[in-house]
Chain A
Amino acid sequence: MNQKTPNPVAFFCSFVFLTMSIVQLIPLIISHYETDSSDQMIFSLLSSFCMLLGYIGVKNYHQTFTKISTRQLYLITLFSWLLLGLIGSLPFIFILPDLPLCDALFESFSGITTTGSTILTGIEKLPPSLLIWRGLIQWVGGIGIVVLSIAVLPHLRVGGMKLFATESSDWSNKTHPRANKMIVSILLIYLALTLVCALIYFIAGMGAFDALVHAMTTVSTGGFANYDTSFGFFANNYLLMWTASIFMIFGALPFVFYVNMLHQNTRRNVVDSQIKGFIIFLIVAILTLSIERLFRSDLPLSEVLTHVSFNVISVVTTTGFASTDYTLWGQFAIMFFFYLMFVGGCSGSTSGSVKIFRFQIAFLMLNNQLKRMSHPNGTYVLKYNGQLVNDDIIRSIVAFSMMFALTIAAIALILGLLGLDFTTSLSAAATAVTNVGPGLGEIIGPAGNFQSLPSAAKLLLCAGMLIGRLEVMTVFVILTPSIWSRWSR
């Protein structure tokens, strides 16, 4: 490759290597306290390996990029996430030599996309360094998606994200001092939220190590837990359950909102409508299911409310913790949870899926259409939180939902071809693309795990998780021939 042409793709990939080498220092420290010294060896080798590659890359490709083209942004996005997933799988491959390669990849992609589906059983017996690694890749994946959705996706106009364009997502003119400041504030807030969460977990009764790992997977709305029974291990401690519920919601709120709150910024209009819709939706969903549960069973109100809230919040925020096997709550609950997967949190948060703002705009659009049909001479404009919404944004949201649905249908069909049953294939496809975690049915439900799936299915689900995480269109764009034509450079 020509040294002189700036290559931001290679530069950002090297940057990923550097970041991950630093992240690997944490399990390295943890492994110091383990009896088995081989883990320490593995992490130190991996860390230095990543450091070396990253250093070489950064040194070679470090240039001032005056302008990054659209195509390069797409490539940076996709490649850096692929790379994150691959690096994330390395410790699994080396520490658990019996684990098949596709299982390691599945676990890593599930972590980095903050999905939280697992193929591991006997998680309690894994070395602590690996446990914290699982938490860390979710944590890194979580902050990664926040930065992506604030800084990159609005600029790329992916699926109506243009609505959230801020000065930090403007890549057309060089470096913006305010943009960097925003990213730094978000990083600090993310770190602070995690630490506060861990502290409360610790006070409420978790061990220090568990508190740290679970805080990382809660705030990143990832959903990996240190136990086979997921959060069910702590189900007796309602204080822990409610703490987790609240911090999952925190993780699913737009991070710009926190920054604005701290800086008393007045430009927080768009954010408010989303948060309002999200909170109202959560309340309605929790009430609906709680009432249904109270009618169907004779459990005390506090138990019903705690478990329903926890699991509903966990699925809607696409975390994927389970406090109990909610698929035993009856057919209505199963269907309900299936649909909840698609809701997702707010844009600019760590949560995945379709996101609440797309539903809000879709319904406003529908309402407008029906109004126009009733009164053909009236003029109706679509306003979202006081802001006029462009027709382009609406169409791009519809296109996004179409692609989202098609991706799930296609993955489900292929999973069916691989021999999985109706419920398993459909819910596995949905849970992967929406980045929730547990599926439905006996095999991959909250009580099961993904281990018994065929290898091809696991790799397909990895792809599904990545497609869903990167807001679908970002990945499909790379597959269109048009992006490779010389006009799009």
Chain B
Amino acid sequence: MNPRLIAKIIGLLLLVSSFMMLPPALVGLIYQDGDIWPFLEGFVSLAVAGGIPFFMFHNMHAELKIRSGFLVVGASWLIVGLAGSLPLFLSENMNLSLTDAIFESISGLTTTGATILTDIDGLPHSIKYYRQQLQWFGGMGIIVLAVAVLPMLRIGGMQIFKAETPGPMKDQKLTPRITETAKALWYIYLGITIMCTLSFYMAGMNMFDAICHAFSTISIGGFSTYDDSIAYFNNSLIEMIAVIFMIIAGINFASHFLAWKSASIKTYLIDTEVKVFIGFLVVASAFTSIQLYLTETADSLYESIRQGTFQAVSIATTTGFTTEPFYLWPGSLPLLMMLLCVIGGCAGSTSGGMKVIRAILLFKMSMRELYRLIHPHGKYLVKINGKTVNYRVLDSVSAFFVQFVFLLCVFTLLLTGFGESITTAFSASLASLTNLGPALDDAGAHYANISDAGKSVLTIAMIFGRLELFTLFILLIPAYWEF
């Protein structure tokens, strides 16, 4: 491990993230809302804090070892998250405690979407914009992480995507180098965001809201500029657009890249993960809608379908927009909602959760074990898209599952220890670990009523979830630090 190299990388990251402060300052200038200074102060302090190590070590050109990768990735998310909290903490309009500011910032950056704010409507435009922008940048970071970095670190079976494209388009390999890949995907990310913005705008949002909501939709974040979230607009067209774009953002960006390159939707049709993802969303929406209708929670069949579909998609993709307080729904619906987010979207998308591909692999693995019970000497292979999955990938996925369950236990126990009810603790831990956002009970509408200790624990849970568990978990074992 090379501390100077790591310092240089993190310095560069801070330097880059200092520029995050300029657009909100501009927004503040346009709307004259008086919250420009926190952003300018943030810009200067981050630029200085990042600039010093970067220029001090700028001639360090050693190759970064894979093993250091874990530390760098973990540290960068933590440090950028802390840096992002600066303007929120400094703003006199908000008057947030440090814990709250960090919670909000990391919830944004990890595209979780849990908020401790209770009066978003009354915030200055610059802050409103900044929160959405945090999620959008977070989404960008996730794409690089998921498509380029994690496969290299061999995290949780993600090596399955390493230089591997679905189906017959094998010749159109994703550009192998990280920067090139990332650039290509960012263009797509930007393109989809612009499309989403325009759609929202045409459906009746004003430009500011359209941009802000497009940011949090495409990044699967779930922040909104209103306390009522999407329910504020009460516009079924907007909801429909949001549903469509949440699904698009929940699909592997590499698939989008290939579809765009080949100008056909065949890429999606032959990809098992996409098919399962869409099928799962349809079933979940239908189940939720029927339940809403049968329990007479919604007024009519149309309302049931509208609410059920929106909420199921929003939660299953781990976005966390709300049109209805799902945490108050009767019977098994709240439990179902919490179980939906465990699976999440496709790998290589901005969504959180366990990821559809892992769920498929785990399920196929379990089925294989069942068959092996009957024919102990039979050879059963787990296949995805017609290709045999390496057993190393399967072991990785198993390890992911074990970590997920273990962390969920630890976080819920800590939260109950800090005095939260079991429903709050269980659902909030799950919602943070899967980067969903809203949970049940005390963590339903917002997280303002959670204790400070609880918020800190959840902040850590969000980073764990975002970094696919392994990245931070590995730092906890002594063997990692042995040379």
Name A residues whose Cβ lies closer than 8 Å to a Cβ of B.
Answer: 70-71, 156-158, 292, 330-332, 334-336, 338-339, 362-363, 365-367, 369-371, 373-376, 391-392, 394-396, 398-403, 405-406, 409, 412-417, 419-423, 425-426, 440, 473, 476-477, 480, 482-483, 487-488
Within the complex, what minimum Cβ distance (angstroms) separates A403 from chain B?
6
B413 touches A332 (CB 8 A): yes
Pull 10 A–B residue pairs with CB atoms less than 8 Å apart, ordered by A: A70-B374, A334-B422, A366-B399, A370-B480, A374-B67, A398-B402, A402-B365, A414-B332, A417-B332, A423-B422
Known: A413-B336, A413-B339. 14 other contacts (CB 8 A): A366-B399, A370-B477, A391-B395, A392-B372, A398-B366, A398-B398, A399-B366, A399-B368, A402-B363, A417-B331, A422-B440, A426-B335, A477-B373, A487-B375
Residue B371 at the A interface, CB < 8 A? yes
Residues in A whose Cβ lies below 8 Å from that of B402: 362-363, 365-366, 398
B154 touches A373 (CB 8 A): yes
Q: Identify the closest chain B residue to A374 (Cβ).
A: B480
Residue B161 at the A interface, CB < 8 A? no
A339 touches B331 (CB 8 A): no
Q: Restricting to B373-429, which residues have a CB under 8 Å from any CB of A? A: 373-376, 391, 394-396, 398-399, 401-403, 405-406, 409, 412-413, 416-417, 419-423, 425-426
A401 touches B401 (CB 8 A): yes
Within the complex, what minimum Cβ distance (angstroms) separates B265 from chain A?
32
Within the complex, what minimum Cβ distance (angstroms) separates A398 from chain B?
4
Residues in B whose Cβ lies below 8 Å from that of A413: 332, 335-336, 339
Q: Identify the closest chain B residue to A477 (Cβ).
A: B373
Give the complex CA separation of A450 and B357 in angstroms. 39
Residues in A whose Cβ lies below 8 Å from that of B372: 157, 392, 396
Within the complex, what minimum Cβ distance (angstroms) separates B205 from chain A?
35
Residues in B whose Cβ lies below 8 Å from that of A157: 372-373, 376
Closest A-B pairs by Cβ, 6 of them: A416-B332, A399-B369, A369-B399, A399-B366, A335-B416, A398-B398
Partner of A398, one of B331, B335, B376, B401: B401
B66 touches A376 (CB 8 A): yes
Within the complex, what minimum Cβ distance (angstroms) separates B355 from chain A?
15
Residue B334 at the A interface, CB < 8 A? yes
Give the complex CA separation of A55 and B56 in angstroms. 91
Residue B110 at the A interface, CB < 8 A? no
Give the complex CA separation of A392 and B373 in angstroms. 11
Give the complex CA separation of A334 and B368 in angstroms. 36
Q: Looking at B366, B412, B422, which has the most chain A CB atoms within 10 Å of its CB?
A: B422
**Given A369-B396, A395-B394: A339 and B413 within 8 A (CB)?**
yes
Residues in A whose Cβ lies below 8 Å from that of B412: 335, 339
Give the complex CA separation of A407 and B336 in angstroms. 14
Residue B479 at the A interface, CB < 8 A? yes
Residues in A whose Cβ lies below 8 Å from that of B155: 373
Give the complex CA separation of A477 and B370 in angstroms. 6
Name B residues whose Cβ lies closer than 8 Å to a Cβ of A.
Answer: 66-67, 70, 153-155, 291, 331-336, 339, 362-363, 365-366, 368-376, 391, 394-396, 398-399, 401-403, 405-406, 409, 412-413, 416-417, 419-423, 425-426, 440, 470, 473-474, 477, 479-480, 482
B374 touches A422 (CB 8 A): no
Partner of B470, one of A365, A373, A419: A373
Within the complex, what minimum Cβ distance (angstroms) separates A429 from chain B?
10
**Given A338-B422, A373-B474, A488-B375: A416 and B336 within 8 A (CB)?**
yes
Residues in A whose Cβ lies below 8 Å from that of B426: 335
Within the complex, what minimum Cβ distance (angstroms) separates A388 from chain B?
16
Give the complex CA separation of A143 and B355 in angstroms. 42
B373 touches A156 (CB 8 A): yes
Partner of B374, one of A332, A367, A370, A480: A480
A365 touches B395 (CB 8 A): yes
Residues in B whose Cβ lies below 8 Å from that of A370: 399, 470, 473-474, 477, 479-480
Within the complex, what minimum Cβ distance (angstroms) separates B418 from chain A?
9
Partner of A371, one of B291, B416, B479: B479
Residues in A whose Cβ lies below 8 Å from that of B370: 399, 473, 476-477, 480
Interface on chain A toward B: helix, strand, loop, or mixed SS? helix
B333 touches A374 (CB 8 A): no
Within the complex, what minimum Cβ distance (angstroms) separates B28 from chain A?
42
Within the complex, what minimum Cβ distance (angstroms) separates A387 from chain B?
19
Q: Identify the closest chain A residue to B332 (Cβ).
A: A416
B401 touches A336 (CB 8 A): no
B409 touches A339 (CB 8 A): yes
A416 touches B335 (CB 8 A): yes
B332 touches A425 (CB 8 A): yes
Q: Identify the closest chain A residue to B391 (Cβ).
A: A391
Residues in A whose Cβ lies below 8 Å from that of B291: 417
B477 touches A367 (CB 8 A): yes
Give the complex CA separation of A403 and B362 in angstroms. 10
Residues in A whose Cβ lies below 8 Å from that of B70: 373-374
Residues in B whose Cβ lies below 8 Å from that of A422: 334-335, 423, 440
Residues in A whose Cβ lies below 8 Å from that of B333: 416
Q: Identify the closest chain A residue to B410 (Cβ).
A: A339
Give the complex CA separation of A394 and B153 in angstroms. 23
Residues in A whose Cβ lies below 8 Å from that of B416: 330-332, 334-336
Residues in B whose Cβ lies below 8 Å from that of A373: 70, 153-155, 470, 474
Within the complex, what minimum Cβ distance (angstroms) separates A23 from chain B?
31
Residues in A whose Cβ lies below 8 Å from that of B376: 70, 157
Q: Identify the closest chain B residue to A487 (Cβ).
A: B375
Q: Identify the closest chain A residue to B397 (Cβ).
A: A398
Give the complex CA separation of A114 and B339 in angstroms. 29
Q: Identify the closest chain B residue to A327 (Cβ).
A: B422
Within the complex, what minimum Cβ distance (angstroms) separates A360 from chain B?
12
Q: Looking at A371, A373, A376, A416, which has the most chain B CB atoms within 10 Å of its CB?
A: A373
Residues in B whose Cβ lies below 8 Å from that of A440: 422
Within the complex, what minimum Cβ distance (angstroms) separates A365 from chain B?
6
Residues in A whose Cβ lies below 8 Å from that of B371: 480, 482
Residues in B whose Cβ lies below 8 Å from that of A365: 395, 398-399, 402
A332 touches B417 (CB 8 A): yes
Partner of B369, one of A362, A414, A473: A473
A374 touches B420 (CB 8 A): no
Q: Identify the closest chain B residue to A484 (Cβ).
A: B374
Residues in A whose Cβ lies below 8 Å from that of B153: 373
Give the complex CA separation of A275 and B59 in angstroms. 57
B374 touches A483 (CB 8 A): yes
A399 touches B365 (CB 8 A): yes
**Given A157-B372, A339-B413, A419-B331: A369 and B366 within 8 A (CB)?**
no
Within the complex, what minimum Cβ distance (angstroms) separates A331 from chain B?
4
Partner of B420, one of A331, A336, A363: A331
Residues in B whose Cβ lies below 8 Å from that of A395: 365, 369, 394-395, 398
Give the complex CA separation of A417 and B288 in angstroms. 11
Give the complex CA separation of A405 and B404 in angstroms. 13
Residues in B whose Cβ lies below 8 Å from that of A332: 413, 416-417
Q: Looking at B154, B363, B368, B373, which has the most chain A CB atoms within 10 Å of its CB?
A: B373
Residues in A whose Cβ lies below 8 Å from that of B423: 422-423
Residues in B whose Cβ lies below 8 Å from that of A425: 332, 335
Q: Identify the closest chain A residue to B481 (Cβ).
A: A374
**Given A70-B374, A477-B373: A366 and B403 within 8 A (CB)?**
yes
